[in-house]
């Protein structure tokens, strides 16, 4: 058992796709001091699995480091592995997974994706996966509302409701 197992657990249970964190916060998580090399060499934070024991801790959790700031004693962890199951009220947990989806992009979109990937330190595939996951998270409530509307419309014994009017009234009240 490694002292860095606590970091693996913390990352596996962390929501979101990025975690900007100070070295001191990491030390609080692992309940130990980081080695001096972590405070002196950006290479210590590399994502090479043979780099050090702690690298394995974040890679095993499905995260990578980026934006290493040794003078500022900060690093950002970026999720690269499968997302944690997302609990939806009244639904079974949904898992985000690689379904073999293929998307054709124009040359301009490919160039934009490559620029975003380069700026974030991700591979193009990681960037595309992150952006698609974020888009799905944003769209999911609308999809669920549409499913609820269809379910309600399919129940003939219920009084007809104008869901758009109800949503509009609720929005106007706030």
**Whole-prediction pTM:** 0.48
How many degrees, rounded to 5, is the angle at CA 91 between CA 87 and CA 92? 70
Kindly state the DSSP code that residue 129 receives in the 8-state scheme: H
Asked if 21 contacts 77 with a C-beta cutoff of 8 angstroms, the reply is yes
- Residue of higher predicted confidence among 148 and 74: 74
- Residue of higher predicted confidence among 26 and 81: 26
- Residue of higher predicted confidence among 119 and 39: 39
Q: Specify the residue for token string 């070295």.
A: 23
Over the stretch 144-171, which tens digit does the pLDDT of each residue have? 777 777 766 666 555 555 666 776 666 6
Secondary structure class of 3 (helix, strand, coil): coil
Asked if 115 contacts 122 with a C-beta cutoff of 8 angstroms, the reply is no
Over the stretch 1-40, which tens digit does the pLDDT of each residue have? 678 899 999 999 888 889 999 999 999 999 999 999 999 9
How many degrees, rounded to 5, is the angle at CA 144 between CA 141 and CA 146? 110
Query: What are the φ and ψ backbone dihedral angles of 150, each rounded to 5 degrees?
Result: -65, -40
Helix and strand numbers (H, E) in the chain are 7, 3
For residues 2 and 45, what is the distance between their CA atoms, to the nearest angstrom?
A: 17
For residues 154 and 131, what is the distance between their CA atoms, to the nearest angstrom?
A: 34
Secondary structure class of 9 (helix, strand, coil): helix
**Nearest-CA neighbor of 96 among 86, 105, 88?**
86
How many degrees, rounded to 5, is the angle at CA 15 between CA 131 and CA 68? 75
């Amino acid at each position: 058992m490694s002292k860095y197992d606590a970091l693996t657990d913390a990352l596996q249970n962390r929501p979101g796709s990025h975690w900007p964190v100070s070295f001191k916060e990491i030390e609080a998580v692992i309940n130990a001091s980081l080695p001096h090399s972590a405070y002196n060499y950006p290479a210590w934070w590399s994502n090479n699995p043979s780099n050090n024991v702690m690298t394995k801790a974040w890679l095993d959790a499905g995260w990578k480091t980026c934006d290493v700031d040794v003078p500022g004693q900060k690093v950002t962890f970026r999720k690269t592995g499968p997302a944690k199951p997302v609990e939806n009220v009244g639904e079974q947990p949904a898992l985000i997974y690689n379904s073999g989806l293929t998307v054709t992009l124009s040359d301009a979109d490919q160039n934009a994706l490559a620029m975003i990937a380069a700026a974030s330190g991700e591979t193009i595939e990681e960037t595309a996966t992150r952006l698609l996951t974020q888009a799905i998270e944003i769209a999911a409530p609308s999809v669920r509302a549409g499913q609820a509307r269809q379910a309600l419309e399919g129940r003939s014994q219920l009084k007809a409701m104008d869901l758009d009017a109800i949503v509009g009234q609720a929005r106007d009240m706030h």
